[in-house]
């Protein structure tokens, strides 16, 4: 069983308060890469999420200054294809898993 760092799920199971979501409930899985999780987040988890049929997968990478870059993947032909790489300071309109503007710099607060 894999647990994403962030899961976006369909409204119905979320409202029902189920303790665990099935892959069919998840529309977006997000992993935040750390030095200890690189292999899992770049290879193992995406393959498992794709096999489970999760439509969208985002990988958040932090640079040396802890600024986020988001690599967006969409499910196609049983695997993920990279559909966008969005660095901090940029923003992009996405339509999957639903329409939104992704601006990675807004994902972090001020650093002390």
How buried is 40 (Cβ within 10 angstroms: 0-12 exposed, 13-18 middle, 19+ buried)? middle
Do 60 and 33 touch, CB atoms closer than 8 A? Answer: yes
- Identify the band that residue 44 occupies on the pLDDT scale cut at 50, 70 and 90: very high
Handedness of CA 92, 102, 90, 59 (dihedral sign): negative
Whether residue 67 is contained in a domain is answered as yes
Whether residue 41 is contained in a domain is answered as yes
Whether residue 112 is contained in a domain is answered as no
Q: Where are the alpha helices (DSSP H) in the chain?
A: 11-16, 38-39, 45-52
pLDDT over 90, % of the chain? 67
| pTM across the whole model | 0.89
Report pLDDT digits (tens) over 1-41. 788 999 999 988 888 877 788 999 999 999 999 889 999 99
Whether residue 77 is contained in a domain is answered as yes
Q: pLDDT value at position 94?
A: 95
Whether residue 59 is contained in a domain is answered as yes
What is the residue range of 86's domain? 6-107
Whether residue 90 is contained in a domain is answered as yes
Q: pLDDT value at position 15?
A: 85
Whether residue 1 is contained in a domain is answered as no
Number of compact structural domains in the chain: 1
């Amino acid at each position: 069983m894999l647990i994403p760092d962030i899961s976006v799920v369909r409204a119905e199971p979320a409202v029902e308060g189920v303790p665990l979501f099935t892959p069919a409930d998840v529309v977006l899985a997000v992993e935040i890469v750390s030095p200890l999780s690189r292999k899992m987040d770049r290879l193992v988890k995406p393959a498992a999420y794709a096999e489970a049929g999760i439509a969208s997968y985002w990988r958040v990478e932090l640079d040396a200054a802890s600024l986020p870059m988001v690599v967006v993947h969409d499910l196609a032909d049983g695997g993920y294809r990279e559909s966008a790489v969005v660095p901090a300071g940029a923003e992009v309109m996405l339509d999957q898993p639903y329409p939104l503007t992704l601006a990675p710099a807004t994902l972090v607060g001020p650093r002390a």
